[in-house]
Amino acid sequence: MIKISVLYPHQDGSRFDMDYYCNRHIPMVIQKLGAACKGVSVQQGLSGMMPGSPAPFAVSADLLFESVEAFQSAFAPHAADIMDDIPRYTSIQPIIQIGEVKM
């Protein structure tokens, strides 16, 4: 199983519309990726490790796939539509990480 992590670093003065992200963007992504996407979670950062410190990431999302190839096959045909939607909900440039789930 692999996990695609989409990380939105905390940036002072940035904009992030969580309502749009959860109710429009993520459902659109799930619909486009279809059955290849095995699960999705969205997290809003609350704080860093130390009390009162800012969260390193304002928002993060994780998408699960059976393999990198399954992700690439599902994502490639819809990449432009998915990426073009980003300015509608945030001014933050996301960081993407592909990881292998070990536990």
Q: How far apart are CA 29 and CA 56, in angstroms?
A: 24
Q: Residue type at 60? A: S
Q: Which residues contact 48 (CB under 8 A, 6 or more apart)?
A: 54, 55, 56
103 residues of the chain, pLDDT tens digit each? 999 999 999 999 999 999 999 999 999 999 999 999 999 999 999 999 999 999 999 999 999 999 999 999 999 999 999 999 999 999 999 999 999 999 9
Q: Identify the bridge partners of residue 3 per DSSP, sorted by sequence position.
A: 64, 99
Number of Cβ within 10 Å of residue 19's Cβ equals 8
Produce one character per residue of 88-103: b if its CB has 16 or more CB atoms within 10 Å, e if not. ebbebebeeeeeeeee
Q: Identify the bridge partners of residue 62 per DSSP, sorted by sequence position.
A: 5, 41
